[in-house]
Amino acid sequence: MTRAGHSSMEYNNPNETLPSMNPATQRKIAFRTFFPLFMFPKQPQNTTKTPFCQDVYLIKNMQNENNVKKSEHPSLLAKEIIPIAQQAGEILRHFFKKDFSLELKNNDTFDPVTSADKQSDALMRKLLHEKFPDDLILSEENENIPTDYTKRIWMVDPLDGTKDFIKGKDGFAIHIGLFSNNEILFGLVYAPIQNKLFWAEKGKGAYMQQEDDFQKIQVSPITSLLESRVITRSPGSDARALDEVVLQLKCREYIHDSALKVPKIACGQAEAHINTNFRASKWDTLAPQIILEEAGGIMTDLDGNLLDYTQKELRWERSYIATSNKEIHNEVLQAIKKHLP
């Protein structure tokens, strides 16, 4: 979920009372499941399958890293942040099967917000502030925006994929990322209904959670766009010019997804994704980006430039591309240049 129209002001204490909401729309949410699995035609060398996600491939000969018990957690930071995401996930689970209030931010039909967004946001900011009182927090649902990006700053999206949440689909997730000194240090993406959690810490690799174990993941070995699976957005009513460019790519298969587009590339389920709505903001990309990069992938804007998280603007003017390797990334960039100014 993305947002524009934030005002620039210093971060304040996250314990403030949430603003009251007008219950403009009450909806009964019906649970649906749609998360198709896509298989490699041939298992790549030096990899092994895992039952957690049938087509995820894990690096062999890394027993100390791939099957890590909680008592031997590979990241103390992840060990602290995962419970925060899970608690926020319980809030989303609660509202997912019950009534919730719905508003439109800035009267924008493409930018809805629910009571689930707001309560998840309040909880995460409170818990992060308690653990890291000196850190700043940039959250989609909080209008108090940090202005100093040289400090440690958490970038949070309490409900990425609000439209799917409203429709009763499970394609939504929680994002928590840490940025400091012009580097992404940590990122976590958690889809509570699908019960899928991915995280990465700089220099320590990318992981997915399987019950009590954490397994290291990697991108697929495919290097040709023709053989690649391209992740597209879930079908929507809003027409986008870039969608036509995506559908003209010469690839093996298109996959529809919402919440886990980039993590699916990181764990080898796909090779490319082009964000087509030009509404993505820092909190949409920070956590997924480090997960992808630590798994061996690449994320840039549509022109091939690195995303600059120190810029004043919150939204990415030239959107973003995520791929599994530089060969496919270059092919996608060339295809875009042929069709877009």
Enumerate the known binding-site residues for Mg(2+).
Answer: 140, 157, 159-160, 284
- Residue 265 CA to residue 268 CA, distance in Å, equals 5
Q: Collapsing DSSP states into helix, strand and coil, what is residue 69?
A: strand
Map tokens 């690799």 to a residue.
Answer: 205
Residue 307 DSSP one-character state: P
- Residue 247 CA to residue 238 CA, distance in Å, equals 16
Q: Collapsing DSSP states into helix, strand and coil, what is residue 247?
A: helix
Torsion from C-alpha of 204, 206, 208, 211, nearest 10 degrees: -10
> Would you list which residues are annotated within the binding site?
140, 157, 159-160, 284
Q: Which one-letter amino acid corresponds to residue 34? A: F
CA 87-133-175 angle, 5° bins: 40
Backbone phi, then psi, for 87, in 5-degree steps?
Answer: -65, -40
Backbone phi, then psi, for 238, in 5-degree steps?
Answer: -85, 125
